[in-house]
């Protein structure tokens, strides 16, 4: 859910969030983008208006692409988690693991990049949630539950317990 909330923040922020994100990066770490250390975002914006707008648009697109991929993987993880609830099917647990590993990619990118802080916080929570889901899918208790669900129910004995068998026949 936190991945979806973070993605909603990105989609709601749009170009304004991207603009603020670029300003923060340039003001805090101009060397990361190849600028002299005393350069500010205001300097870049005044020198190149249309280029700045294109930069903001590209950044908004990158943020939206990561958010869209995070939503897709979160929905996949949620669907497979709902499938595993009843009988702990192995196929669903395998798909939880696969979609969980794939879901890690956008969150690792987000945590490794200069993202807005709100997005990073939700992405970190989503990353931890994915790891917990993958681990919980294969815990010994989950394996026992799946085994018990696959086992046939014990046969009912309508007239009580069977008579004990003897080695000898009665004469």
pLDDT values of the chain reduced to their tens digit, one per residue, 171 residues: 778 888 888 888 888 888 787 777 777 777 766 777 777 777 777 767 777 788 788 888 888 888 899 889 989 999 998 888 878 888 889 999 999 999 888 888 888 777 777 788 888 888 899 999 899 888 998 888 888 887 776 666 566 666 666 665 555
50 vs 24: CA distance, rounded Å: 19
**pLDDT value at position 98?**
93
**pLDDT value at position 165?**
64
**pLDDT value at position 12?**
84
Is residue 77 within 8 Å of residue 99, measured between CB atoms? Answer: yes
Contacts of 111 (CB under 8 A, 6+ apart): 120, 123, 124, 127
Is residue 110 within 8 Å of residue 2, measured between CB atoms? Answer: no
């Amino acid at each position: 859910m936190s991945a979806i909330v973070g993605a909603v923040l990105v989609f709601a922020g749009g170009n304004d969030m991207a603009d603020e994100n670029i300003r923060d990066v340039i003001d805090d770490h101009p060397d990361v983008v190849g600028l002299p250390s005393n350069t500010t975002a205001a300097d870049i914006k005044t020198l190149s208006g249309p280029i700045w707008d294109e930069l903001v648009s590209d950044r908004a697109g990158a943020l939206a692409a990561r958010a869209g991929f995070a939503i897709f993987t979160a929905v996949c993880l949620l669907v497979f988690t709902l499938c595993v609830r009843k009988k702990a099917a192995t196929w669903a647990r395998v798909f939880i693991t696969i979609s969980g590993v794939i879901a890690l990619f956008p969150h690792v990118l987000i945590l490794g990049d200069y993202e807005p802080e709100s997005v990073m916080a939700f992405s970190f929570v989503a990353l931890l949630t994915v790891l917990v889901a993958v681990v919980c899918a294969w815990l010994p208790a989950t394996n026992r539950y799946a085994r018990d669900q696959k086992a046939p129910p014990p046969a009912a004995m309508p007239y009580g317990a069977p008579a004990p068998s003897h080695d000898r026949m009665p004469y």
